[in-house]
Amino acid sequence: MDLYDFPEMGRGDLRAMRLAIDGAFRDFTRAYGETLENLFDPIRALLVLIETLMINSPWVVVLAVIAALIWIMSRSWKIVAGTVLAMLLIGYFGMWEDTMRTIAMVAVCTLVAIVLGIPIGILMARSDRLNAWVTPLLDMMQTMPSFVYLIPVVMIFGLGKVPGVIAVVIYAIPPIIRLTNLGIRQVPADVLEAAEAFGSDAWQKLRNVQLPLALPTIMAGVNQTIMMSLAMVVVASMIGVRGLGQPVLQAINNQYFTLGVMNGLAIVAIAIIFDRATQAYGKRLQKHSEIGHD
């Protein structure tokens, strides 16, 4: 056997393995795809509900609610004024409905990421073994090209809202997991010892000491998750997720410069609003935690 036959044999084996994996995955999607899709019906219903409320409600009411939420988080009139101005410009240029769809998508994806990510981060902080296992997985999730996440979800769920939510959550969840883990691990040991001295059990220490002190770091993770969700929503437009990403995709396909730039600027405006509001809220939490610790 010639030495140069080995590369060809290796390629043949690799092709056979790829075909076997692809076939097994197709069989899995045909057998369990509908069942898995039914599991995500509550998420779809929540997304449809939020979208419907934001699109069908009077724009003045929606704008007032958004401004109130931004004020509650930031307590800054400058950020509120910037939010109102940006939203008025978005409506003036005819991008209101797509913007509402995008905000609803980001809100649901961020909520799902928080519900899943914070408990995982807590478990990682309490178990070094779990931390060692999950950290490489998070590294892979953050370095994997975002388009790759679309392949398995489309094969299982097809096109639409559910595969979009799943792809966005997978792409955006690592920061909230990492920073929850980091925030809890950074709680000073003397504070934990004092809590133990007062008779606190593990759950009481977590609820009354670790989570409040880690909350500013966790909010930084929420901020990064929101930013990554916004970025992935544009990519998810390729699988039928409606919002500001679809006009951008249309502009790329048809070389519509103005359409792409305007919708891109709308995405930037939403990102800045979310970023400034969550950062301001995180700083307020930081001050409160420092005062409480002192």
Ramachandran region of residue 75, left (φ > 0), alpha (ψ -120 to 50) or beta? left
* 236, 166 contact by CB (below 8 A): no
Summarize pLDDT for 32-89 with one digit per residue, the tens: 667 777 788 888 888 889 999 999 989 899 999 999 999 998 888 899 999 999 999 9
In whole numbers, what is the pLDDT of the chain averaged over residues? 83
Domain boundaries along the sequence of the chain: 1-38, 40-293
Residues making up the chain, counted from first to last: 294
Block residue for tokens 């039928």: 240
Q: Which fold has domain 40-293?
A: MetI-like fold (1.10.3720)
More confident residue, 289 or 110: 110
Summarize pLDDT for 240-252 with one digit per residue, the tens: 778 888 888 788 7
Judged on CB neighbours under 10 Å (0-12, 13-18, 19+), 241 is buried
Neighbours of 124 (CB within 10 A): 24
Whether the pLDDT of residue 1 is over 50: the answer is no
pTM of the predicted model as reported, rounded to 2 decimal places: 0.83
* 148, 211 contact by CB (below 8 A): no
Residue 294 has what pLDDT? 52
Taking the C-alpha atoms of residue 282 and residue 287, their distance in angstroms, rounded to an integer, is: 9
Of the candidates 162, 174, 176, 177, the residue with the CA atom closest to the CA atom of residue 236: 162
Taking the C-alpha atoms of residue 40 and residue 175, their distance in angstroms, rounded to an integer, is: 23
Block residue for tokens 């902080």: 125
Of the candidates 23, 24, 29, the residue with the CA atom closest to the CA atom of residue 156: 29
Taking the C-alpha atoms of residue 73 and residue 71, their distance in angstroms, rounded to an integer, is: 5
Whether the pLDDT of residue 195 is over 50: the answer is yes
Q: What DSSP state is assigned to residue 78?
A: H
